[in-house]
C-alpha cells in the first residue's frame, strides 16, 4: 500500500490511547504523579504515560503507515523482546519518516525507529543491536526512574518532562537547543541518558542480541560507525545527542562483545527488502531511485539480486510505469509467491491499472491461508474500497480491528469505507474513534454528536451507546486538561 507519509495532523498535543472495547468507559483517570509515596513508578502508570506520549507523537510527527515495514519491524522487535530480561509488558514498534540515524524508546514499551537507521545499517545485526539497546532502556526502567528524579526537582513538571523527552528523542538537535535556551540545567540533564544508563543498556542489549541469534560484534561496529561520523561531520548523528558516546564506551562495547564467540550471521531477506523499500519510497525521489537501483543491478556481483530488483519495481511503480514494474514483480512472485513485500507491490500495480478483481482474487486466496495478517488484509480491504466493494471492505476491517483495535491505518480505511458508502452514522462514529487516537477528544465528541443525528429514532440501544461514548470523550478531554 502506498502510504508514504504518516497521518500527520495539527490535532491536540497530548492524549491517551484506548481500545474500542474501552471507549465507552467513563471512569478512567490520568495517573496521579504528585504523591511522594510513589518511590518507583508503577507499571500501569508507566504504560499510561507511554500512551500519552504516543498520542502526542501521532498528532505531530511523520509516522509511516506502511503495513509491510510495520510487519518487518514488529517481527524483528518481538524476536528481541522474547530474548530480553525483565520484560513487564508488550512492546510496540513504529517508524518515523526521517533520514537521521536514530531510534528511541519511552514509557510503556514504545520504540520508535527512524527510516535513516535502517538505511544506514550495513546488516540486520547492526539494526538489531540498536533495537536491543533501546529495549534495555525500557526493561531497566531508565526513563521510569526519571519521574522520581523529576518529583524531587521543583523546576520540572511531569508535563514538561513528557514534552521535553519527546522533543529530544524525535528531533534531538532542535529539542536540545530549545531546552538549553528555555530550561534549567537540571531539566536538561533529565532528557539525556546518563553514562551509567548507557553502559547498562549496552550490557543488557548485547545479551539480548546474542540470545536472539544476532552477531554481538555488530553493536561495536555500529558505535564505531557513529564515532567516525562525529569525527568527520560538524553535526553529530541524532542518536548521539541523547545517547552519549565517550571514547571509553566504544572500547567497552568491543571488549564485551569478545566474551562471545565470533560468528557470521547473514541478514534476512526481509531486512534487504525493507532496506530497499525505505531507499526507494522514503529516501529518494522516484527517478533518482530508479537510476540508483538500475546502477546497483549493473554493477552487482551477488548471486541474489532480488532486493535490488524489488527496489527498482517500487521506483517504477511510483512513476506509474506499471508494465515495467509488473514484469519485475511477477518474476519475483514466481520464485516466492507468498512474500508480503512482493504481494504489496503487485497489489499497488493492479490498483494503478484499475484491475481490481485480479488483485482481489489473488489476495483472497492468500487471506484464507493467513487470515488477519495486516499486509494481506489491509491490501485486500484497500483494493475492495477502490473496486467499490464496500461491504467486503467493511467486513474485513471490522474483523481485523477486533484483533488489533488500536491499528490507526485500519481505522482510517474503515472510516473511508463508511464515507464512500454514504453510511453517515457509522462514518461519524468511526471518525470520532480515529480522532481520539490523535487526542482530539472535543472533535471526537462533535463527531459522535453528528452520528446521533443519523441514528433511527427506534434504535434506542445505539442511541444510548453513542451518548455514553459522547460523555466519555468529554471526560477524557477534562482529564487531559489536568496535565
Residue numbers belonging to the annotated binding site for Zn(2+): 133, 137, 198
* Structural contact between residues 273 and 308, judged by C-beta atoms closer than 8 angstroms: no
Burial class of residue 420 in the structure, from the number of CB atoms within 10 Å of its CB (0-12 exposed, 13-18 middle, 19+ buried): middle
Handedness of CA 401, 405, 410, 415 (dihedral sign): positive
Sheet holding 103-106, edge to edge: 92-96, 110-114, 103-106
Q: Where are the alpha helices (DSSP H) in 387-483?
A: 390-403, 408-420, 424-436, 441-453, 460-481
Task: Name beta bridge partners: 104.
Answer: 112
Q: Where are the alpha helices (DSSP H) in 233-335?
A: 238-242, 247-257, 269-281, 286-299, 306-317, 322-335
Q: Which residues contact 58 (CB under 8 A, 6 or more apart)?
A: 6, 7, 408, 437, 438, 439
* Structural contact between residues 290 and 320, judged by C-beta atoms closer than 8 angstroms: no
> Length of the chain, please?
483
Catalytic residue status for 296: no
CA distance 321 to 316: 5
Q: Which residues contact 29 (CB under 8 A, 6 or more apart)?
A: 479
Binding residues, by number, are 133, 137, 198
CA R_g for the chain: 23
Could you count the other beta carbons within 10 Å of the beta carbon of residue 425? 18
* All cell numbers assigned to 177: 537547543
Burial class of residue 173 in the structure, from the number of CB atoms within 10 Å of its CB (0-12 exposed, 13-18 middle, 19+ buried): middle
Q: Which residues contact 84 (CB under 8 A, 6 or more apart)?
A: 132, 135, 136, 139, 204, 208
Catalytic residue among 46, 51, 134, 416: 134
Distances (CA, A) of 366 to 84, 354, 361: 33, 20, 9
CA distance 222 to 250: 9
Helix, strand, coil share (%) of the chain residues, nearest 5: 65, 5, 30
Q: Which helix (H) or strand (E) holds 12?
A: none
Instruction: Render the burial of 222-231: b for 16+ CB within 10 Å, e for the rest.
Output: bbeebbeeee
Handedness of CA 365, 367, 368, 369 (dihedral sign): positive
Catalytic residue status for 200: no
Catalytic residue among 202, 296, 344, 416: 202
Q: Which residues are catalytic?
A: 134, 202
Amino acid at each position: 500500500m502506498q502510504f508514504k507519509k504518516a497521518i500527520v495532523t495539527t490535532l491536540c498535543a497530548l492524549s491517551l490511547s484506548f481500545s474500542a472495547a474501552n471507549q465507552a468507559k467513563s471512569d478512567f483517570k490520568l495517573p496521579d504523579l504528585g504523591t511522594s509515596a510513589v518511590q518507583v513508578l508503577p507499571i500501569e502508570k508507566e504504560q499510561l504515560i507511554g500512551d500519552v506520549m504516543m498520542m502526542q507523537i501521532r498528532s505531530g510527527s511523520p509516522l509511516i503507515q506502511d503495513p509491510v515495514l510495520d510487519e518487518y519491524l514488529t517481527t524483528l522487535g518481538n524476536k528481541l523482546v522474547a530474548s530480553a530480561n525483565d520484560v513487564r509488558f508488550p512492546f510496540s514498534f513504529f517508524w518515523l519518516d526521517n533520514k537521521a540515524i536514530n531510534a528511541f524508546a519511552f514509557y510503556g514499551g514504545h520504540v520508535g525507529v527512524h527510516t535513516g537507521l535502517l538505511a544506514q545499517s550495513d546488516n540486520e545485526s547492526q539494526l538489531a543491536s540498536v533495537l536491543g539497546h533501546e529495549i534495555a532502556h525500557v526493561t531497566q526502567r531508565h526513563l521510569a526512574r526519571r519521574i522520581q528524579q523529576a518529583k524531587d526537582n521543583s523546576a520540572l513538571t511531569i508535563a514538561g518532562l513528557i514534552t521535553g523527552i519527546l522533543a529530544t528523542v524525535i528531533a534531538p538537535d532542535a529539542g536540545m537547543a530549545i531546552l538549553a535556551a528555555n530550561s534549567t540545567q537540571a531539566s536538561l540533564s533529565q532528557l539525556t541518558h546518563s553514562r551509567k544508563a548507557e553502559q547498562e543498556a549496552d550490557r543488557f542489549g548485547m545479551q539480548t542480541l546474542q540470545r536472539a541469534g544476532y552477531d554481538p560484534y555488530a553493536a561495536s561496529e555500529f558505535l564505531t560507525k557513529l564515532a567516525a561520523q562525529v569525527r568527520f561531520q560538524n553535526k553529530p548523528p541524532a542518536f548521539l545527542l541523547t545517547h552519549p558516546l565517550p571514547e571509553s564506551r566504544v572500547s567497552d562495547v568491543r571488549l564485551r562483545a569478545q566474551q562471545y564467540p565470533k560468528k557470521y550471521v547473514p541478514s534476512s531477506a526481509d531486512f534487504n527488502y525493507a532496506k530497499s523499500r525505505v531507499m526507494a519510497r522514503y529516501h529518494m525521489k522516484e527517478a533518482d531511485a530508479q537510476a540508483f537501483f538500475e546502477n546497483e543491478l549493473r554493477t552487482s556481483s551477488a548471486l541474489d539480486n532480488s532486493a535490488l530488483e524489488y527496489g527498482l519495481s517500487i521506483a517504477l511503480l511510483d512513476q506509474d510505469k506499471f508494465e515495467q514494474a509488473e514484469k519485475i514483480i511477477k518474476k519475483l512472485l514466481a520464485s516466492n509467491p507468498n512474500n508480503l513485500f512482493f504481494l504489496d507491490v503487485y497489489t499497488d500495480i493492479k490498483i494503478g491499472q484499475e484491475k481490481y478483481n485480479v488483485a482481489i482474487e489473488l489476495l483472497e486466496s492468500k487471506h484464507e491461508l493467513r487470515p488477519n495478517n495486516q499486509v494481506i488484509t489491509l491490501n485486500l480491504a484497500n483494493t475492495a474500497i477502490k473496486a467499490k466493494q464496500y461491504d467486503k471492505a467493511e467486513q474485513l476491517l471490522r474483523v481485523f480491528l477486533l484483533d488489533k483495535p488500536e491499528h490507526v491505518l485500519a481505522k482510517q480505511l474503515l472510516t473511508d469505507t463508511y464515507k464512500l458508502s454514504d453510511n453517515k452514522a457509522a462514518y461519524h462514529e468511526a471518525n470520532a474513534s480515529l480522532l481520539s487516537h490523535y487526542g482530539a477528544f472535543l472533535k471526537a465528541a462533535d463527531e459522535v454528536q453528528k452520528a446521533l443525528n443519523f441514528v433511527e429514532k427506534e434504535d434506542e440501544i445505539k442511541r444510548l451507546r453513542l451518548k455514553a461514548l459522547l460523555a466519555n470523550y468529554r471526560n477524557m478531554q477534562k482529564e487531559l486538561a489536568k496535565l
